[in-house]
Amino acid sequence: MPSRNIPSVRLRRIGSALRRAREDGGLTIDTACRRYGRSKSWLSTLENGLHSIDPQELADLLDFYEVPAGPLRESLLHLATHKPGKNWERAYEGRISAAALDLASLEEDADLIRTFQPCLIPGLLQLPEYTRALVMAGSRRNKRNADALVEFRRRRQRILGQPNSPRYVAIIGEAALRNQVGDPSVMNAQLQCLAEAAREKAIELRVLPESAGAYLWLAGPFDLFTLRPPGRLSVTVVEHFTRSLFVEDEAEVAEHAEIFTKLLTVSLDEDLSRELIVKVASTP
């Protein structure tokens, strides 16, 4: 289980926004603390995402920094008030990484999720058998926790079936449809499931065809989360071999959003994407 001293993406996002608000007001941390009446260590740890803040005190601090009513203020207060993920931590203590728990928290609190997966079916659309095959191909530690990892992913997928589910936009490389994960029956079932998911209102599924393969150099797998309520707070999660990198810098996140838009323009439309999925599924 992660130490409580490890900042979550939620606390880091609040902290970085408060730092920017302070700097935009032309205040050093010493001046802000003297005028606001709090210690330097309190504000420093808050800005670094190392402790939470009561929503009322956050509202007072935003007033102090003269942050006006609007999407940014609403999003920050929402992050401080709404804390999804506690049940995840209790249920998966010691078996699921801190990064994975952070990812689940973002999924629960997202208004929009955009994902680019060039080689694999996106996690929120995977069948348990497909997920298990991936886990069993991984490290020994993952194999030991296979049941927990498969169940964790299955539970995360519930967000797409809820009344207030986020809008989900997935770009999948054509290679992901043809890369066999598990035996042929698993792969066929996965593609059939994918074709059905593409009919859901809240899901927009697009395939990046092999003919647009030159665009694969733009990025590896990544997820873009726009947090509730819809505003200016977004986070990118970039997948690496041994870890996930949470990107919160607004300029970098905007760059990922631009790349996603570019990939979307060269992907097949929804109807053609679904037709290709069905075609690949029906090919012996």
This prediction's pTM: 0.79
Structure tokens at 253: 């996140």
| CB hemisphere CA count around 52 (13 angstroms) | 13
Tell me: pLDDT of 89 over 60: no
Mean pLDDT of the chain: 86
206: three-class secondary structure by DSSP: strand
Q: Give dist(CA 179, CA 182) in Å, integer.
A: 10
Mean pLDDT of 163-179: 93
Q: What are the structural domain ranges in the chain? A: 9-81, 95-125+159-282
Contact (CB, 8 A) for 146 and 131? no
Q: Residues in the chain, how many? A: 284
- 2 band by pLDDT with thresholds 50, 70 and 90: very low
Q: Which fold has domain 9-81?
A: 434 Repressor (Amino-terminal Domain) (1.10.260)
The pLDDT value given to residue 240: 67
Amino acid in position 86: K
CA angle, corner 196, sides to 283 and 218, nearest 5? 75
Tell me: pLDDT of 9 over 90: no
Q: Which fold has domain 95-125+159-282?
A: Endonuclease; Chain A (3.30.870)
Most confident of 8-22, 142-156, 179-193: 179-193
Contact (CB, 8 A) for 248 and 12? yes
Nearest to 156 by CA among 101, 78, 93: 101
Nearest to 11 by CA among 109, 99, 80: 80
* Tens-place pLDDT, residues 207-261: 999 999 888 888 899 999 988 765 567 888 887 655 678 888 888 999 999 999 9
